[in-house]
Amino acid sequence: MVDARMTKTKKKSRIFSLLGMASLFTLSGCELFETMSSSSDDVSLKPLDASFSIYANDPAANDSLEQHLSTGVLMRVFPNGQYTLSFDADSTHEAPKLQLYRLIPKTSTTYIIGNRTRSLEATDSAGRWVYHFDCQESDLAFWGTSLVEDGEYYSGEVQNLRFEGSGSNSLHFKVNLIVAGSYDGTQDNVSLDSLSRLMLEKFRSSFAAGGAVVDTLYLHYASERTDLSNFYPDNEPWLAGKSSDDYFVSELGGWPNSDAEPDIYNALDIVLVHRIEKTGILGYSALFSGNFGGGDGSTVVIGTHYLENNSRETSQSALQIVLTAIHESGHFFGLRHTTSTTTEVSNALDKSNVQDGLEDTPHCGALIPLLANSEVSADYLDMPSEVMPRIVLAKMGVMCPDALNPMFPISADNPEDTEAFTEDQLEFMAKMLQLYTH
């Protein structure tokens, strides 16, 4: 998610904050219900908490996944993907079997544990147990894990867990810019056509160094969707989270195919709304979404305006809107914030995930100690939790080394100063693009 950034002279904050950290695919507290009996070499997977989700190629620490892999974590897999799961061998145990189960959606927040899809033996490679498997599903699928040793859950240690995935999908992709409700302009009075051209230009230049190619950008109006009963009138501003309960405006994802544009359904769907109905928030995206089709997680949402702390509305410049779209698209491909926000640290299951895990993206090491200092943070408890770190840091005279990275959680005071993605960020997104179906 994006929020707004703090200037040094005014309490005016716009923040990149990530809803995807508790995203559509990491549904805290939801249960998965067991429905199948076990075979002779199987340990039935018991109900598990889908908060523990493992994502292919995620470089973050993810310590809690190591603790729960044996009894069950949620795994997302894509058609025709090749996967490797590995961890350090425990010399006090034999290598366990890796059991994988298909998870069947029951509701938007629960799954049923279905058939076992794999029972895998480990290979020993340089002191690591390695499991190889592919995905022959026809669409994005959810699997559950268990590790089995002598008819019981594996009780050895799981350390330095890695889950890697690769695919052969194209490095080319398209963008749908979908205007929900009225377009009420930008701070610098840029027309919608000019905004679209700027977005295509910046997307192309931002992703090109990693080999990704943005073929084109299609401009749509939600009011054109007659299948949605003209629910999006183009003469009223759309307030995500108020005009409807769905901040993601999910039903606009997966723009309908047409004879003239047969592959438009599998484009990256960016929904442009008037504003998001939360203080300081500029945009939303689900982390590791990878859903180029319709449904949950298929949209990136950005606002042309945002709410300040005093509930006054402020418009954004065209460049800031475009940079917000690039930031949120980074989350869509799986990039985390370079430095976690207060909300992410306090709500995260993995407290170690205070940075993204990439080697060439510095993080603001002063942030976490400051958050733990109650005397420093007490004056800012009435402010949005994503805004507070930037304000505290500015007050303390601390400069964050990642402040100008596109994935820093708070937008730049001067958008023109925002830097390019790093080499590691670009390499990571290219790998995920080849894994995601589009």
118-153: pLDDT as tens digits: 999 999 999 999 999 999 888 888 899 999 998 889
pLDDT range class, residue 9, cuts 50, 70, 90: very low
Among 166, 183, 217, the domain-final residue is 166
Greater pLDDT, 224 or 370: 224
Chain centroid, CA 333 distance in Å = 7
Chain centroid, CA 124 distance in Å = 33
State the virtual CA torsion across 132, 432, 23, 279 in degrees, nearest 10. Answer: 160
pLDDT range class, residue 236, cuts 50, 70, 90: very high
Which is nearest to 113 in space by CA: 39, 40, 36, 37? 36
Residues 222 and 265 reside in one and the same domain: yes
Q: 52 in a domain, yes or no?
A: yes
CA 225 to each of CA 22, 231, 251, 265: distance values in angstroms, whole numbers, following the listed order: 30, 8, 10, 14
Residues 185 and 320 reside in one and the same domain: yes
Residues 95 and 111 reside in one and the same domain: yes
Q: Which pLDDT score, from 0 to 100, does residue 46 have?
A: 65
Q: Which pLDDT score, from 0 to 100, does residue 311 have?
A: 78
404 burial (CB, 10 Å; 0-12 / 13-18 / 19+) is middle
CA distance 357 to 177: 31
Among 145, 166, 187, the domain-final residue is 166
82-86, 111-115, 277-281: which has the minimum mean pLDDT? 111-115
pLDDT tens digits, 293-322: 888 889 999 999 998 876 789 999 999 999
Residue ranges with strand state E in 94-238:
97-105, 111-120, 123-125, 128-134, 141-149, 152-153, 162-166, 172-179, 213-221
Q: 306 in a domain, yes or no?
A: yes
Residues 147 and 250 reside in one and the same domain: no
pLDDT tens digits, 29-63: 333 333 443 444 555 666 656 668 899 999 988 87
Residues 142 and 280 reside in one and the same domain: no
Q: Which domain holds residue 251?
A: 2-21+170-338
**Quick one: average pLDDT of 90-100?**
95
Residues 54 and 161 reside in one and the same domain: yes
Q: 429 in a domain, yes or no?
A: no
124 burial (CB, 10 Å; 0-12 / 13-18 / 19+) is exposed
**Quick one: average pLDDT of 404-420?**
87
Residues 157 and 246 reside in one and the same domain: no
Residues 148 and 78 reside in one and the same domain: yes
Residue with tokens 């914030």: 337
47-56, 183-192, 214-223, 263-272: which has the minimum mean pLDDT? 47-56
Quick check: 438 and 167 in contact, CB under 8 A? no
CA distance 58 to 288: 9
411 burial (CB, 10 Å; 0-12 / 13-18 / 19+) is buried
pLDDT tens digits, 333-369: 999 988 877 666 665 566 667 778 899 998 776 555 5
State the virtual CA torsion across 63, 68, 73, 79 in degrees, nearest 10. Answer: 60
Q: What is the CATH number of the domain that holds 232?
A: 3.40.390
Percent of the chain scoring above 70 in pLDDT: 77
Angle between helices 318-333 and 423-435 (to 10 degrees): 60
Residues 181 and 150 reside in one and the same domain: no
Look up residue 310 and give its DSSP letter: T
Q: Which pLDDT score, from 0 to 100, does residue 294 have?
A: 87
Q: 428 in a domain, yes or no?
A: no
For 110, other C-beta atoms within 10 Å of its C-beta total 16
Residues 154 and 179 reside in one and the same domain: no
Q: Which pLDDT score, from 0 to 100, does residue 312 have?
A: 87
Residues 156 and 217 reside in one and the same domain: no
Quick check: 272 and 178 in contact, CB under 8 A? yes
Q: Give one DSSP letter per residue of 341-361, joined into a string.
A: -HHHHHH-S-TT-SB---TT-
Q: 109 in a domain, yes or no?
A: yes
Q: 294 in a domain, yes or no?
A: yes
CA distance 14 to 187: 14
Q: 133 in a domain, yes or no?
A: yes
pLDDT range class, residue 5, cuts 50, 70, 90: very low
**How many domains does the chain contain in total?**
2
CA 34 to each of CA 24, 31, 153, 330: distance values in angstroms, whole numbers, following the listed order: 21, 10, 16, 35
Q: 26 in a domain, yes or no?
A: no
Whether the pLDDT of residue 11 is over 80: the answer is no
Phi, psi (5° rounding) for residue 14?
A: -130, 125
Among 166, 190, 212, the domain-final residue is 166
Greater pLDDT, 350 or 231: 231
CA distance 131 to 174: 34
Mean pLDDT of the chain, nearest integer:
81
Instruction: List the 15-16 sheet strands across, edge first.
Output: 15-16, 2-3, 281-284, 299-303, 268-273, 172-179, 213-221
CA distance 425 to 420: 10
Q: Which pLDDT score, from 0 to 100, does residue 270 have?
A: 97
Residues 152 and 261 reside in one and the same domain: no
